[in-house]
Amino acid sequence: MDGQQPAGRSGSGHRSVPHTADLRVEAWAPTVEGCIGELVRAVVDGFADLRGAHVVGERGCTVLGVSDADLLVGVLEEVIYRMDADGELPVALAIGRIEGLDGARTVAVRFRMADTATAALVGAVPKAVSLHDLDLRAGPDGWTCRVTVDV
Amino acid sequence: MSGMEIALTAAGRYRWRIEQRPPMRVPGVVFASEALLPQDAGDKALEQVANVATLPGIVRASYAMPDVHWGYGFPIGGVAATDVDEGGVVSPGGVGFDISCGVRLLAAGVDREELDPERIGRLMDLLDRTVPRGLGRGGLWQLSGPEELDDLLLGGARYAVEHGHGVPRDLERCEDRGVLAGAAPGEVSTRAVERGLQQVGSLGSANHFLEVQAVDQVHDPDTAAAFGLRPGQVCVMIHCGSRGLGHQICTDHVHAMDRELHRYKIDLPDRQLACTPVDSPRGRAYLGAMTAAANYGRANRQLLSEAARRAFATALGVGLELVYDVSHNLAKLETHEVDGAPRRLCVHRKGATRALPPGDPDLPADLAAAGQPVLVPGTMGTASYVMVGLPGNEAFHSACHGAGRVLSRHRALRTVRGEQLKSDLEAQGIAVRPTSWRALAEETPEAYKDVDAVAAVTEAAGLARPVARLVPLGVCKG
């Protein structure tokens, strides 16, 4: 497995998991919002080195979904959309508190964006998020999630 | 059917059967040798074949081609046909995110023996500089805005040729003459338009490539000649699809169908199989948007062909003639005989190529006697195949689409470093122009099945037969 090992899963971390078609990533964190943020950072770090990238500004969005797992998909989809449509990738993100009832969940996200033209490509570029085997759940040591990303 | 034990029984030469049991509506059929069957513990490709067999309206069987491997929802290398007039569904996951991802082969007016490593290197440097790929928004064609994109979504490769990007003969050698009827740009979301606007004429990344190849072996000289191929001939193979636009269309429609499953009382074993009746407002909307993306994919490959032509003209002073252009991620409404009666079917090919036999009325006139070229890209270190459709193909005239992955990307990374792979390939005389070392290593030839075995089993299973084997001389990786 690549990435930090989930030793007790008490902190935050992520790793890639074998899948022959595309990219499968697992992440874990003490909170659900932290878990989503950890996974987004893992996916971005998996293909773009943004350490020398030129920061162009901030963007915000509100993601809606019927479940927290769907919010996770929505936040990743926002990152992919901004990359293709505006040529921007997040160097940092802040995920607000998830709100709403079951069936109507919402979360506000703020991104600090860099110009993709100044990023270094280090892996296959994600293009979509699959619902296959999607998972986000609470456990005794915090939250874990798993997503399959089309590259 | 998650976690279900899949039992295969031998059912003919290189043909395996997954018996139908609830909630499957038909059996599964896998065309493979024992060596080509998915082997790894945890690999869910065969479970996915069984899952597809649960789709409402599916007929005959859920098929897997010899290059089958684990996908999401559908397996990659899956074929499924649903009966439109019996409530049959369309599933965007059965087409894939990269709608109309496909392969195009062009034949050059030059032979391998006329090229030395220096000339190939010069050509590859030029392609490296002029073929947009990897991260970034740039494409070869700057459209004026969303209105012109709508025209391209309606016109496909024909629109590109009409605007000076190619010659009319190119269209004769594209599936559907380069444009599918029925595109509905109005069903394409603003996000899809924004993603696609600046990517017309770009390869993308991952397993997409532009490769310079040579015809290494001709298995059937007459058919090869009809396709425009001869021994030693230099060729260009392009593998790419509909870029961000196609991915966004699939994303949008999977989400919409996922939310509406209850309306049609559809229960699925995998959310990525989300579907809706073909003959419903949502089904028609998806097919209209999918068709628009298919036309985008064909225009995209047309633009990349023109970039290759410019590079060949500049570096070598020769032209490129289109052999054929196929899509291997698509759903098409086709008529096939099922249980003795002609039925209107929605045939999903997810990582599978249509393979029309000689005499099929859908073939262009100059290929009617020969049959349809089936383009099967292998790996950058081994070979690729040009095959031709065989009569009597039970999988709705479908065949393999490539070698098929066996290693995940992260396992591939542990077998070789990108720098080492480039050096190994160059020692074999293959010039490599990667976008990143890691992306190159992820595509190491070891990550794929043996393409020679895939081609041999495809023939033995009666799907398509080899016409020519091509070997790589140089590769621009996405």
pLDDT tens-digit profile of B426-440? 999 999 999 999 999
Residue B124 backbone phi and psi in degrees, to 5: -65, -35
Contacts of A81 in chain B (CB under 8 A): 191, 194-195, 248
Alpha carbons B8 and B26: distance in angstroms, whole number: 14
What confidence tens digit (pLDDT) does each residue in B87-128 have? 999 999 999 999 999 999 999 999 999 999 999 999 999 999
Assess B410–A contact: CB distance below 8 Å, yes or no: yes
Question: If phi over 0 gives left and psi between -120 and 50 gives alpha, with beta otherwise, what is residue B158?
Answer: alpha
Question: CB distance B271–A134 less than 8 Å?
Answer: yes
Rounded mean pLDDT of B237-245? 98
User: What average pLDDT does chain B have?
Assistant: 96
C-alpha distance from A30 to closest chain B C-alpha (Å): 26
Q: Is residue B2 part of a domain?
A: no
Helices (H) and strands (E) in chain B, counts: 12, 19
What torsion, rounded to 10 degrees, do the Cα atoms B452, B454, B455, B458 define? 160
Assess B129–A contact: CB distance below 8 Å, yes or no: no
* pTM, to two decimals: 0.97
Assess A58–B contact: CB distance below 8 Å, yes or no: no
Total tally of structural domains belonging to chain B: 1
Q: A1 pLDDT exceeds 70? A: no
Q: Is residue B468 part of a domain?
A: yes
Q: B2 pLDDT exceeds 80? A: no
Which percentage of chain B shows pLDDT scores above 70?
A: 99
CATH architecture, domain defined by A2-150: 3-Layer(bab) Sandwich (3.55)
Q: Is residue B433 part of a domain?
A: no
Rounded mean pLDDT of A94-122? 95
Alpha carbons A12 and B112: distance in angstroms, whole number: 55
- What is the secondary structure of chain A as a DSSP string? -EE---STT-S-EEEEE--SSSEEEEEEESSHHHHHHHHHHHHHHTTEE-TTPPEEEEEEEEEEESSHHHHHHHHHHHHHHHHHHH-EEEEEEEE---EEETTEEEEEEEEEEEEGGGSEE-SPPP-EEEEEEEEEEEETTEEEEEEEEE-
Residue A22 banded pLDDT, cuts 50, 70, 90 = confident
Residue B31: partners with Cβ closer than 8 Å, 6 or more residues away:
B14, B15, B16, B63, B64, B65, B66, B395, B457, B458, B461, B463
Question: CB distance B191–A81 less than 8 Å?
Answer: yes
Would you state the pLDDT for residue A7? 44
Contact B333, B349 (CB under 8 A): no
Assess B329–A contact: CB distance below 8 Å, yes or no: no
Q: Is residue B214 part of a domain?
A: yes
ipTM of the prediction greater than 0.90, yes or no = yes
Q: Which of A26-35, B190-199, B353-362, B402-411 has the lowest mean pLDDT?
A: B402-411
What domain range includes position B325?
A: 8-406+448-477
Is the N-terminal amide bond of B23 cis, ω within 30° of 0?
yes
Assess A16–B contact: CB distance below 8 Å, yes or no: yes
Between helix B243-260 and helix B281-316 the angle, nearest 10°, is: 170
Nearest chain B residue to A125, by CA: B205
Would you state the pLDDT for residue B41? 74
Alpha carbons B144 and B271: distance in angstroms, whole number: 38
Nearest chain B residue to A67, by CA: B259
Residue B29 banded pLDDT, cuts 50, 70, 90 = very high
Residue B338 banded pLDDT, cuts 50, 70, 90 = very high
Question: What is the count of residue pairs from A and B with beta carbons less than 8 Å apart?
Answer: 126
Q: Residue written as tokens 């999988």? A: B395
Rounded mean pLDDT of A11-17? 91
* CATH number of the domain encompassing residue B212: 3.90.1860.10
B270 to each of A20, B54, B388, how far by Cα in Å?
17, 10, 34
What confidence tens digit (pLDDT) does each residue in B278-318 have? 999 999 999 999 999 999 999 999 999 999 999 999 999 99
B401 is catalytic: yes
